[in-house]
Amino acid sequence: MKTAIVYYSKHHGNTKKLVDAIAAAHEVTVIDCMSGQTDLSGFDRIGFASGVYAEHVAKQIQSYARTNLPEGKEVFILVTAAMPIDRYFSDLQKIAEEKKCTVKGSFKCKGFNTFGPFKLIGGTAKGHPTEEELAEAVRFYEGL
């Protein structure tokens, strides 16, 4: 199954670490959503990966998915956040549903955060994602 993972990872590269761990273990095409690469038609399964910014996945990844996700594809979602919770998947799940895609699974883990006032205290979720969390992301991918 030909797979692409489209990601947006700006703050500390937490999400890119998940994507890189999966790409190191499996043959996937990695696409930075800001790269200008937009043709996803040749992929059977498409992952979207993002950090959480103001309680939502990045607007850039939402816009990319809304514009470029072909109908009827298998989709999975990866999210990193200082406090990862299931509702952070909802933006991308809604877009996938609108495109008549099947969401095969979602993975979340902590990500180091120094946004806004958290910078004053040295950040939260230091050291995340951990090696174990990266291994969990790979296992998640393998279970799709």
Mean local confidence (pLDDT), 5-22: 90
Q: For residue 49, what is the domain's CATH number?
A: 3.40.50.360
Buried b (16+ CB within 10 A) or exposed e, 97-128: eebebebeebbbbbbbbbeeeeeeeeebbeeb
Q: Total structural domains in the chain?
A: 1
**Tens-digit pLDDT profile for residues 24-45:** 999 999 999 999 999 999 999 9
| pLDDT band with cut points at 50, 70 and 90 for residue 139 | very high
Rounded to whole angstroms, the Cα distance separating 15 from 78 reads 8
Rounded to whole angstroms, the Cα distance separating 6 from 60 reads 11
131 has a pLDDT exceeding 80:
yes
- What pLDDT is stored for residue 52 in this prediction? 86
97 has a pLDDT exceeding 70:
yes
For residue 47, give Cα distances in angstroms to 53, 68, 122, 125, 126.
19, 12, 31, 24, 25
58 has a pLDDT exceeding 60:
yes
**Tens-digit pLDDT profile for residues 43-55:** 999 999 998 877 8
Mean local confidence (pLDDT), 122-134: 74
Question: Does the predicted TM-score (pTM) go above 0.85?
Answer: yes
- What pLDDT is stored for residue 30 in this prediction? 98
Q: Which domain holds residue 42?
A: 3-142
128 has a pLDDT exceeding 70:
no
